Structure 1
Amino acid sequence: MKIHKLIGSTLLIVLTTTFIWGQSQVTVDFSASKSYGNISSLDRAKFFNMHATANSFNQEELSYLQKLDVGFGRSFGAPTVGNKSIQGLMSKEQHMKNIQKSRSNYLKYKHSPINLSRDLIYTSHPTSEHGNYGFEWKGLNADYTKEVDYVVTEFKELYGKKEDGEVPLPKFYEPLNEPFVHTTDIKGAKAEDVRLEMSRFHKALAIGLHKEVPELKIGGFSSAWPSVELWDFRHWEERMKLFMDVAGAEMDFLSYHIYDGKNVTGGDSFRTGSNAEAIMDLVDAYGAIKWGQPKPIVFSEHGMTRPDWQGTPYSELRDWKNIRSYNHQIMQFMDRPDQILKVVSFITGKAEWFKTPGNDPYPWVILRKVNGKYEWTHLIKLYEFWKDVKGNYTDIQSSDPDVLTHAFVDNNKAYIVLSNLELHESKVDLNFKNLPNVKSLKIRRLFLANGKPNLETESISTDTKELALRKDEAVILEYTFKKKLKQNKHLTLTNYYASEYLKPIEDKKPIAFEMNKVKPNVERASLKLGIARPLDKSLQANLTFNGQKIDFPIDWKGYDQADRIKTGFFGVIEVNIPSEMIKENNFIKLTFNENGGRVSSVKLSVLNN
């Protein structure tokens, strides 16, 4: 529960008392399946992946990961064009010999785990600090013909099905990993010039690969630091927007990294919740304005990262902080299955390359060495928690934006997933519509206790209608019905973006937006407002929708962002709109009482029956 700069301490006390101790209502209609665009069922391959290849594990370890249906997400195995081959020191003939040697080695071990990694993202380090690297600075308006030829040749000749066998082609290609944070590695060049050329480089590669290797999806720029609201959105203008303007039309997807992390006082800071929603909606809104619809998205890394973690002893509490972020963020990403192509949680294999004087493990490993043998860290619990969950998306809604929800129906099974973003325990009432006869009910809980992650599963009463969720806890209710469940109602979610974005907030000046060509037969609708405001300014606004006043919420996903001292609040506030108010063409007006900040995006999410 959040209350951001409301007037009057008495009102604050009353509202705090009312809402913190009130119960959330979660309503599930088991008879109503739901589609996001044309996606109607959970695609596990999109959401449950780790930042490693199958080659990182022995057969026993690999078998367990396969049992949990874990995917392998990303490899630094992309062609590295910033090396001697591009500097003219390797002939085309020598390049082909090297490719054939690599291909022969792959085929020699064709039954090895590499063949389990068909959906990998291939990337490379952007600059020369890593030896072979992905980008060579050649000045402004450089010609990248040689680089494109090198990359196209490698993907075309090394991979694919030929007379000697098949080497699986990776599905996704990010030419450079987090390149814009490495612009200062290039001495004697302006950072803005390097960003421009890196974007032009992506565009040139995409044009060449689309022509010669069309089945390979290329995207970028795998942004490490999407603090888009910084400097009154100059960060956005000079980074993601620049990339979209220069290279976006040729990209098969856009990619960026969502991480919780460290704030200026040394505590934990969170993108999870409204801030992540605002970043995603800003990118999508500009894509819709620019191309008529948002670009597909790849989250090639996500989770939690802190620079002060590296080189410290293994910590069970740290494992929990990682799990907490992975899980909450996956729940948010699952609300966009029609747009997201792949999600890779930043969970590595053994990271044997990571060396410290104290032999401390890399903070994100799923296996660490204990007395000379590898043991699973608690991070495996993320995948154990989600094991077996599958089925059709099913209609579910929560009265509290801090209780994230999903529901899935599969034959005679249903899975209800809840994740608590509140900073305290949350009580949840379960309201069911069209609940069939229940044979059994199990609950799976993932939570922090005694300083470490705990995963518990038990059978509970089939009449359970109330749950208490610990801070950051996630639960899965697994229902087994006596008969296969038939869903005779179908709902489809469609998002509509305003034709304008990033409008400045001025004192008592209405900010107008339009949302047009909305389909009829509306079941429910919500308006999602991306808002950036200084911390000392109120988030409350007067809102009218098609001329009718709508109450403005005092709550949103996640925490109040009071620790974002440098950037201020930046998040999405969701407003429920009565279905009878929705028209084909819709007009929104927002009025704030103080100057400062921007309305970054406006999205109308409509559930049609």
Structure 2
Amino acid sequence: MLNRTHLSSRNRSALALTVLLTAGLQGCGGRSGDSDSASSTSSSQQSVSSSSQTSASSSSSMSASSSSSSAAASEGATQVYIDSGVTRTVGDADSFHREAFITLHASHTEQDWWLGENAESVGGDNLMAEFVTKYDVYFGRDTGGMAWQLSQVPEDPEKPGYADDEAIESRGNDATGWYSARQDVRGPIQRAQEHRNQQMIVAAQQHPYWPNGTPTGQGWAFSQIDTPEEPLGTATGQYMSQFLKHFFRQSEGEPGQPKPLYAEVMNEPLWELVTVAEDPVDLTTIFEFHNTVAKEVRALNPDVLLGGYTAAFPDFEKDNFNRWEERDKHFLDVAGSNMDFISLHLYDFPDFTDNGVPVKRYRKGANMEATLDMLNHYTDLSFGEEIPLIISEYGAQVHRLRNEPWFPYRDWLTINSINSMMMAFMERPHQVEKALPFITVKAEWGRISPTVPYNFRLMRQQFEAEGETGEEWVYTELVKLYELWKDVEGIRLDTAANDPDLRVDAYRSDTETFIIVNNLDFEAQEFALNFRDGAAPAEIQTKQLFLGDQELPLHDRTPMIENQTYSELPQTLTLEPEATMVIRYSNTGNAPQGELQETNYYANTYKQPIESAQPITFEVDDINTSAEGFAILRVGLGREHGLSLQPEITVNDEPVTVPTDWRGGDQYLDGKGRESFFGVIEVPLPVELIDVNNTVRIEFPDSGGYVSSLAIRYGASTTALLRPQTAF
């Protein structure tokens, strides 16, 4: 396993900070669409997309004089804490890394950017450059380029089942030379944006890479020989290695596009080779194939990081955790030590069918926390560290809506899942090397029928929207994701909330502060902002992305962006169901002086069976404690619905209060949710309760299921924090 320094890390000195006071927030707030409060100033989202989107936005300005100034107005609201005096570092990551999180599942060279009548479409021939510069977006992932070149390469006449190395080198030289020399409309545009493609991911597909006799475009198939001298996958790995060696710039000053930084051995191999296969392939064979391919690729490309197994549906808890044992744990045991990263695909299923019954199965919230914690706990026990993660696809799969023409509500399901999941990944900036929302460009290659396009597209044709005509390509509603996040940057500040259903993050640039609040709840949430004494801004701007048209049937509603300016700090703001808000303001007060170093400390064991009235003991040792900071116990649970999620817990023999809430909604959903509960219960602890070495005991009143993971998330601070010790 290779050691890498996170690209966004910066060293900052520790400075003492005086004791803080919480600012009392008085004033007014809430969203208002009343015409008498609308401002005539321009609204940035009006230029986001096609004509259907300009009507889906509003801009307004509000001051304290337009509503109540009663202090009681914030009672009952969720309290959000923005500590502008303290920077927050996780591992070595202390700032917002746009290259990792504000991304698109595309490359800067793919044909989609120039597909269609560009002169009459949004951006024209300059679509790609216009989009990525306006919204500051980075690439990407490519699963097609390597496959296309393979379809053109002949078999080695001297070595059956292997690609002809000389042909690969020749085609690669042509490709790199053409990229650097071309002067048509595409060439200069591509080269001008290649800096956004420095962390590219390439991935193989099952066919024809998996050696089972599937022919390439030239009629030959990869070798199926499997001997100690030539293990299965050698031929596949050698082709991938030659491709990476010859089709990209190898060093500064050479021709060609930037070389991919990451390679996934295979995209979602188990779905087709095992899950839905009539004759499933042995899992060990697939995982050893990963080892073989990784070895071959590294032989010529030591600068490329290898990973897998790119799990399509990492349902660890399935069949009482047998899925974890048979697949994910087994992969780590067989191939984990040879992987530079673990790659995952994570999707919500907000409109799924199980045996003809509509269900909703969400990952966002506690389920995804449990998935990542269990993976991290096991890798920490096995390898002594959290293995880096690549989330090369994530968002929402909209099964029951898949075979319908484009409509805005389907885009909303993708948008709200992406926002919630992205903020979870941003909680792990030291570990998540890259997270790619599954948004393609135009994706005509995936069209289902003449009237049903591929679902996950940045662009659509005008005629696809009700009331519109024309062949021109315009943005879908998915562009609003990038509009929401387009200016966010800066050093990370400490944040917290007293409700786990509100995810909060904040960043301070040289001139502005950005607060991001995401609602995991299916109901609107009122919240109040709390700042250090003297740090509260006088004026704020808010941008909320939510599902509008509340008066219409659900499937007729459209995602909207609403911009507002408040001339005085409102006492409360309202966040719509599953919505996300970005709050920005000019920096106030001095630059942060305090530092918070956050670390996850994992217990000495994981995946412990639950038996009634039988305490389960965990040891969490070697914590770097401090006089100030925070501590949150994270307990992963996998249990059948109806069993207790309220164990008795002691930490160092002291009883602690277990919250009755967790991130995200009720996983049961009246029998139409997940098949069982799998989630993390987060328990805020007094920081003084934590020692260097700690004993945690958990006892349930009933039997069944597992404590899947246990960790203490500990923040060691150089100063007292704004957040109360009961906050998440």
1:95 aligns with 2:168: yes
Deviation at 1:70, TM superposition (A): 1.1
**Structure-1 separation of matches of 2:433 and 2:348:** 21
- What is the Cα deviation at residue 439 of structure 1? 5.5
Task: Return the letter of the residue paired with 1:500.
Answer: T
Secondary structure of the structure 1 residue equivalent to 2:390:
strand
CA drift at 1:421: 1.1
Choose from 471, 483, 486 the match for 1:384: 483
List per-residue Cα deviations over 1:88-141 (Å, max 9, x = no partner). 375433333333333333334353527342321101211349975998765697
Q: Residue 492 of structure 2 aligns to a residue in which SS?
A: strand
Given candidates 532, 546, 563, the residue that maps to 1:433 is: 532
The residue matched to 2:646 in structure 1 has which SS? coil
Deviation at 1:360, TM superposition (A): 2.3
Please name the residue that 1:31 is paired with.
85
Return the letter of the residue paired with 2:649.
L
**Aligned equivalents of 2:662, 2:433: Cα separation in 1:** 26
1:588 match: 696
- Which digits, 9 at most, give the CA deviation of each residue in 1:299-350, with x for residues without a partner? 0000000333333111111111111001011111110001110000011100
Deviations 1:408-443 (A, max 9, x none): 111231111111111211111221114437353111
Please give the alpha-carbon distance, in whole angstroms, between the structure 2 residues aligned to 1:555 and 1:103: 55
CA contact (8 A) 1:405 1:417 kept: yes
Render the CA deviation track for 1:424-478: whole Å, top value 9, x for unaligned. 1111122111443735311111111111100011211332231121111211110
Q: C-alpha distance in 2, partners of 1:505/1:184?
A: 30
| Aligned equivalent of 1:606 | 714
1:482 Cα deviation after fit = 6.0
1:73 matched to 2:165? The reply is no
1:235 is matched with: 323
Bigger strand share = 1
Which of 360, 364, 379 aligns to 1:272? It is: 364
Counterpart of 1:176 in structure 2 is 266
Q: Counterpart in 1 of 2:615?
A: 510
> Is the Cα–Cα contact under 8 Å of residues 500 and 662 in structure 2 kept in the other structure?
yes
Contact preservation (8 Å) 1:30, 1:434: no
User: Whole-Å Cα distance in 2 between the matches of residues 60 and 91 of structure 1?
Assistant: 37
Matches of 1:159 and 1:47, distance apart in 2: 24
- The AA in structure 2 aligned to 1:118 is Q
For 2:373, give the aligned amino acid.
D
Deviates more, 1:116-125 or 1:133-142: 133-142
Query: 2:177 — aligned with what?
Result: 104
Percent identity reads 30
RMSD across aligned positions (CA): 2.5
Structure 2 CA distance for partners of 1:597 and 1:555, relative to 1, 3 Å: same
What does the per-residue CA deviation read over 1:352-403, in whole Å, with 9 as the maximum and x for residues that have no partner?
A: 1133444322111110012210010110000000111111110111000001
Compared with structure 1, are the counterparts of its residues 79 and 197 closer, same or farther at alpha carbon in structure 2 (3 Å cutoff)? farther
Question: TM-score scaled by structure 2?
Answer: 0.76
Alignment-derived partner of residue 495 in structure 2: 396
Q: What SS does structure 2 have at the residue aligned with 1:301? A: strand
- Between 529-538 and 147-156, report the one with greater CA deviation: 147-156
1:308 to 384, 387, 400: 400
Give the 3-state SS of the residue equivalent to 2:444 in structure 1: coil
What whole-Å deviation, never above 9, does each CA across 1:169-225 have from its counterpart, x for those lacking one?
A: 01111121111101149978543x1x3222112212223333431211111111001
TM-aligned CA distance change 1:416 to 1:499, over 3 Å: same
The whole-number CA distance in structure 2 between the counterparts of 1:432 and 1:353 is: 50
1:472 maps to 2:578: yes
Name which of structure 1's ranges 422-431 and 171-180 shifts more when overlaid on structure 2.
422-431
1:160 Cα deviation (Å)? Answer: 2.3
Alpha carbons 1:229, 1:567 under 8 Å: kept: no
Q: Which amino acid aligns with 2:341?
A: F
Please give the secondary structure, in 2, of the residue aligned with 1:95: helix
SS in 1 for 2:446: coil
- Aligned equivalent of 2:248, options 159, 163, 168: 159
**In the superposition, relative to structure 1, how do residues 60 and 234 fare at CA in structure 2: closer, same or farther (>3 Å)?**
same
Distance (Å, rounded) in 2 between the aligned partners of 1:165 and 1:61 = 22
Tell me which residue corresponds to 1:532: 638
- Which segment drifts farther, 149-158 or 508-517? 149-158
Q: CA deviation at 1:518?
A: 0.4
Mapped to 2, the partners of 1:377 and 1:431 lie a distance apart of: 36
Inter-partner Cα distance in structure 1 for 2:431 and 2:165: 39
Distance in 2 separating the partners of 1:479 and 1:89 = 59
Query: What letter corresponds to residue 199 of structure 1 in structure 2?
Result: F
Contact 2:154 2:167 in 1 (8 A): no
2:237–2:296 CA contact under 8 A, matched in 1: yes
1:495 equivalent to 2:568? Answer no
Matches of 2:227 and 2:607 in 1, distance apart? Answer: 30
What's 2:686 paired with?
Answer: 578
Counterpart CA distance in 1 for 2:237 and 2:446 is: 32
Aligned pair in 2 of structure 1 residues 509, 103: CA closer, same or farther (>3 Å)?
Answer: same
Q: Which deviations, in whole Å up to 9, do the C-alpha atoms of 1:25-58 show, x marking residues without a partner?
A: 1111111111111111111111011111223324
Flag the structure with larger Rg. Answer: 2
**Deviates further, 206-215 or 417-426:** 206-215
> Match of 1:256?
344
Q: Which residue of 2 aligns with 1:60?
A: 127
Work out the CA distance in 2 between the residues paired with 1:232 and 1:135. Answer: 38
Do the aligned residues in 1 keep the contact of 2:310 with 2:343 (CA within 8 Å)? yes
Specify whether residues 77 and 433 from structure 1 end up closer, same or farther in structure 2 by C-alpha distance, changes over 3 A only.
Answer: same
CA distance in 2, matches of 1:470, 1:48: 23
- State the AA in 1 paired with 2:206: P
> Aligned with 1:314: secondary structure?
coil
Residues 220 and 411 from structure 1, CA distance in 2 versus in 1: closer, same or farther, beyond 3 angstroms? same
Q: 1:131 to 1:318 in 2, by over 3 A?
A: farther
Structure 2: distance between partners of 1:487 and 1:576: 25
Instruction: Please state whether the residue corresponding to 1:220 is helix, strand or coil.
Output: strand
Aligned to 1:148: 237
Deviates most, 66-75 or 76-85: 76-85
| Alpha-carbon distance in 2 for matches of 1:573, 1:511 | 16
Residue 216 of structure 2 corresponds to residue 216 of structure 1: no
C-alpha separation in 2, matches of 1:135 and 1:128: 7
Distance 1:128 1:209, change over 3 A: closer
Aligned partners of 1:504 and 1:234: how far apart in 2? Answer: 13
CA shift for structure 1 position 227: 0.7
For residues 106 and 676 of structure 2, the distance between their equivalents in structure 1, rounded to whole angstroms, comes to 35
State whether residues 74 and 120 of structure 1, in contact with CA within 8 Å, keep that contact through their aligned partners in structure 2. Answer: yes
Question: For residue 660 of structure 2, what is the aligned residue in structure 1?
Answer: 554
Name whichever of 301-310 and 525-534 sits farther off.
301-310
Contact 1:510 1:589 in 2 (8 A): yes
Q: 1:373 to 1:23 in 2, by over 3 A?
A: same
Which has the larger displacement, 361-370 or 178-187?
Answer: 178-187
CA distance in 2, matches of 1:602, 1:526: 11
Q: Which residue of 1 aligns with 2:197?
A: 117
Aligned length: 586
Structure 2 unaligned blocks of 5 or more = 1-74, 114-124, 463-469, 550-556, 718-728
TM-score (norm 1): 0.91
Equivalence for 1:368: 460
Map Cα deviations across residues 6-39 of structure 1 (whole Å, 9 max, x no partner). xxxxxxxxxxxxxxx9321111111111111111
Amino acid at match of 2:174: K
Flag the 1:172–1:424 CA change in 2: closer, same or farther, 3 A: same
